[in-house]
Amino acid sequence: VGKPEDLVEGVRRGIDMFDCVMPTRNARNGHLFVTGGVIKIRNAKHKTDTTPLDPHCDCYTCQNYSKSYLHHLERCNEILGARLNTIHNLRYYQRLMESIRKAI
């Protein structure tokens, strides 16, 4: 259990508490969850992309940093990159659970 679709299925089956390292582990490896799937921020196509990870996300990372800056942090192995990525992924999971609760 850990992928967003796993959480949706778990809730469908009556599970209401999850303990998972997926959002933080993926963040440390530069895999960021967005509405359309996963962005691999290390990919060179993000080097000059000045847009936010997810324009609809209200997290600190999306409100203040571009894909190109996050790409730069990842390529330099800067610890700030892992922290900003983690903030984003955790907020993504919070929003996912909020939307599931509203749907019930």
Q: For the whole model, what pTM was predicted?
A: 0.89
- Residue 103 or 28, more confident: 28
Q: What is the pLDDT of residues 61-74, one digit of tens each?
A: 999 999 999 999 99
Strand-pairing partners, residue 32, are 39
Flag whether pLDDT at 36 surpasses 90: no
Q: What is the pLDDT of residues 1-25, one digit of tens each?
A: 778 888 888 888 888 788 888 899 9
Domain extents for the chain?
4-41+50-103
Distance CA 70, CA 39 (A): 11
Give the helix/strand (H/E) hosting 39. strand 37-40
